[in-house]
Amino acid sequence: MSAAPKGSNDKSYYVTTPIYYVNDAPHIGHAYTTVAGDVLTRWHRQKGESTWFLTGTDEHGQKVMRTADANGVAPQAWVDKLVEEAWLPNWKALNIANDDFIRTTSERHTKRVQNFLQKLKDEGFIYAGKFEGPYCVGCEEFKLPGDLIDENGQKLCPIHSKPVETVDEDNWFFKLSDFREALLKHYKENPEACQPESARNEVISFLEGDVRDLSISRSTFNWGIPVPWDTKQVVYVWFDALLNYATAVGLGDDVSSEGGKKFAATWPADVHLVGKDILRFHAVIWPAMLMAAGLPIPGKVFAHGWLLVGGEKMSKSKLTGIAPSDITDHFGVDAFRYYFMRAIPFGSDGSFSWEDMGARYTSELANDFGNLASRLTAMIEKYCDGVIPAPANGGELAEMLKKTVDTADSAMCALDFQGGILAIMDFCKRINLYVTETEPWVLAKDEANKAKLNEVLYNTAEGIRALAVLLHPVMPEVTEKLWQSLGAQSSIGEIGEQQISKVANWGQLPAGSVVTKTEVLFPRLEEVK
């Protein structure tokens, strides 16, 4: 058992989202997780690290089969339609730079799942048995009696508030209980392996209880991966789905093959991002499966909170799901990405509010950041003929930038996106204050102040250069426009190639870079199309 190495040159920093259950189009809860994974991966990429970012879709199971039947189509046709018309377009629209997209119906996944399962059976970790008990089709989860809520004599799933079904089947079981002690030891000795602390405590509490073996097959329907030695049964959807993180990078392939080499360069995953409702699958069942196969377990499982609407978890089935486009059509994609990483502490529940997003858009993005960029380009055009003046000593700004980079880097790498963004925006506020204090418009009235004016304008431009780089993982489109406006593209290279560790080196914008006006980065809301 081992965790992912950090900072290794021959090991990619590997981040995953859950593979989302394809039963409907994505809502902003799905987008929240995916944007977080994208921001985290982009940040590490700008640290100069090799990275790999995986997302995808979970397409098997009883719920998908029933929904497809209700829509009068075959399950495969149903999931194909949703992936092609809803999931992939949404991630493209949100500027998600994933390296791979795994589907559990793909051949590469199916074959590797069957090979993995056969190996576990051959090594004695799978046995025949009988399962009788409650099952939530919405969760696709075998429930323990203590998991359920009682309402008017009915046993309900606490997540979906719907009655559970009773399953009585002859199934195949995985010896999950064999790994209870090893998992308990792992989480007690490695607190960073399951975060935040509340999630870790939940997992430890579960492991200190009665951990039962897991039914890993279903015999009453056929929409799933056939069990290789018993084709009348299909693999339990979660046992199938969890394996995606490893099958996507070549699980079980010959070490000399392309897949084998990819697995060696990528596995284990550094961070699994999950919602807290699927924590137990990822922090208990998944590492146990890997232990049984003699494979390294992930470095960290991070369970973020729920996005709430009206005090309830966002859900399509409860008609509380909001499509990402409902928000991006009004505020723009980068504002969407910024708001959800900035407004909600990652790991806590958070309520989405149109009013709060509108207020932050205006104050933080339009006024603090966007207006600063517009003022700077206008002043350089007016006072310096549109050309960056000679580099100057940044003084207090340069010193604050060093602290900002250190704080933001520590926070972002710890998945404290809010803390990282707050540090960066505090630096933005300081640049605004610097402009207010130095009054370049007053300096420009007297030619004797030309040297001081040039110093102020250079330092402002250099501060904005740093802001663009630091905010690029969060807002890639807007910062790219700003980068072009500063003339930085032609003078110091692509914004995505600027390394976090070098951001604080003051004086990178060379004299003579041509500044151009760009469109308003964050239009007033009444102007948003």
Residue 339 confidence (pLDDT) above 90: yes
Question: In the structure, what pLDDT confidence band is assigned to residue 2 with cuts at 50, 70 and 90?
Answer: very low
**pLDDT value at residue 168:** 81
Mean pLDDT for the stretch of residues 489-509 = 95
Question: In the structure, what pLDDT confidence band is assigned to residue 58 with cuts at 50, 70 and 90?
Answer: very high
Active site residues: 27, 30, 136, 139, 157, 160, 313, 316
Domain 13-304 is in which class? Answer: alpha beta
Residue whose structure tokens are 């055009």: 381
CA 127 to chain centre: 36
Q: Which two tokens stand for residue 169?
A: 């089947």
Task: Please give the Cα distance from 284 to 299 (Å, whole number).
Answer: 14
Residue range 353-527 in CATH 1.10.730.10: yes
Tell me which range, 127-131, 138-142, 501-505, is most confidently predicted by mean pLDDT: 501-505
Number of H helices, E strands in the chain: 22, 18
Q: How many CB atoms lie within 10 A of CB 516?
A: 12
What is the strand order of the sheet 217-218 is part of? 217-218, 230-235, 226-227
Task: Please give the Cα distance from 90 to 20 (Å, whole number).
Answer: 13
Eight-class DSSP state of 4: P
Q: What is the pLDDT of residues 11-56, one digit of tens each?
A: 999 999 999 999 888 999 999 999 999 999 999 999 999 999 999 9
Q: What is the pLDDT of residues 270-298, one digit of tens each?
A: 999 999 999 999 999 999 999 999 999 99
Q: What are phi and psi of 375, to 5 degrees?
A: -60, -40
Going from N- to C-terminal start, the domains of the chain cover: 13-304, 353-527
Residue whose structure tokens are 């097959």: 217
430 near 402, Cβ under 8 Å? Answer: no
Question: In the structure, what pLDDT confidence band is assigned to residue 145 with cuts at 50, 70 and 90?
Answer: low
Mean pLDDT for the stretch of residues 406-424 = 98
SS (H, E, C) 216-264: CEECCCCCCCEECCEEEEEECHHHHHHCHHHHCCCCCCCCCCHHHHHHH
Eight-class DSSP state of 161: -
Q: What is the CA radius of gyration of the chain?
A: 26
Secondary structure element (H or E) that encloses residue 451, with its range: helix 450-471
Task: Please give the Cα distance from 141 to 133 (Å, whole number).
Answer: 11
Mean pLDDT for the stretch of residues 331-341 = 97
Question: In the structure, what pLDDT confidence band is assigned to residue 307 with cuts at 50, 70 and 90?
Answer: confident
- Work out whether the CA dihedral 444, 448, 450, 453 comes out positive or negative: negative
Q: What is the pLDDT of residues 424-455, one digit of tens each?
A: 999 999 999 999 999 999 999 999 999 999 99
**pLDDT value at residue 147:** 73
**pLDDT value at residue 315:** 58
Per-residue buried b or exposed e for 349-387, using 16+ beta carbons within 10 Å of the residue's own CB: ebebeeeebeebbeebbbebbbebbbbbbebbeebbeee
Task: Please give the Cα distance from 289 to 240 (Å, whole number).
Answer: 11
Task: Please give the Cα distance from 15 to 245 (Å, whole number).
Answer: 9
Mean pLDDT for the stretch of residues 348-354 = 88
What's the whole-number average pLDDT of the chain? 92
Residue 1 confidence (pLDDT) above 50: no
